[in-house]
Amino acid sequence: MFRRKDDDVEYPAKYSAEDRFFAGMLGLFGHGNIGGVSDASQEAGPAFPYYLGRNEQAMVDAAVAFAKLKYRRQAFGCPTSIEPGATNVVTAVATATVNWIPVLLLCGDSFAERVHDPVLQQVGCEHAGDVTANARSAR
């Protein structure tokens, strides 16, 4: 379904090399977000744009609209922060899943060396600091 080019970017096999499957990223930088996303975005430059969002659900809704507009030939990636950011995308992800719309979600992870008490709005498990909303949705 996909073929590789010299720069190791995947392209849909049916279409021209100018149509990259992932057209860019919609995201907002926050706690627990994917650390390397900002560095990779800066290195890629205008070839792989990063659009700053203000709300996780709105970002995924915009990514769904973009993929629909492109007839599912291109998609956006959406990184989220941990806990409330990951739970904010549930409705938009349900819309994408029901309509078979491609969207890449990169959910942030919890802190390895810090207790996440007031920062994460108490979405995680109260009696154990190791269970987050991301872990709960994976069950």
Predicted confidence band of residue 86 (pLDDT cuts 50, 70, 90): confident
- Alpha helices (runs of H) in the chain, residue ranges in sequence order: 36-44, 56-69, 84-88, 90-98, 133-137
Whether 5 maps to a domain, the answer reads: no
Using a cut of 0.85, tell me whether the model's pTM lies above it. Answer: no
In which domain, by residue range, is 45 found? 19-137
Tally of domains in the chain? 1
Whether 1 maps to a domain, the answer reads: no
Whether 65 maps to a domain, the answer reads: yes
Whether 100 maps to a domain, the answer reads: yes
Whether 85 maps to a domain, the answer reads: yes
User: Which two three-digit tokens encode residue 137?
Assistant: 């949705």
Whether 125 maps to a domain, the answer reads: yes
Q: Examine the pLDDT at 91 and tell me if it is beyond 70.
A: yes
- Whole-angstrom distance, CA of residue 43 vs CA of residue 32: 21
Whether 81 maps to a domain, the answer reads: yes
More confident residue, 19 or 103: 103
CATH number at 90 reads 3.40.50.970
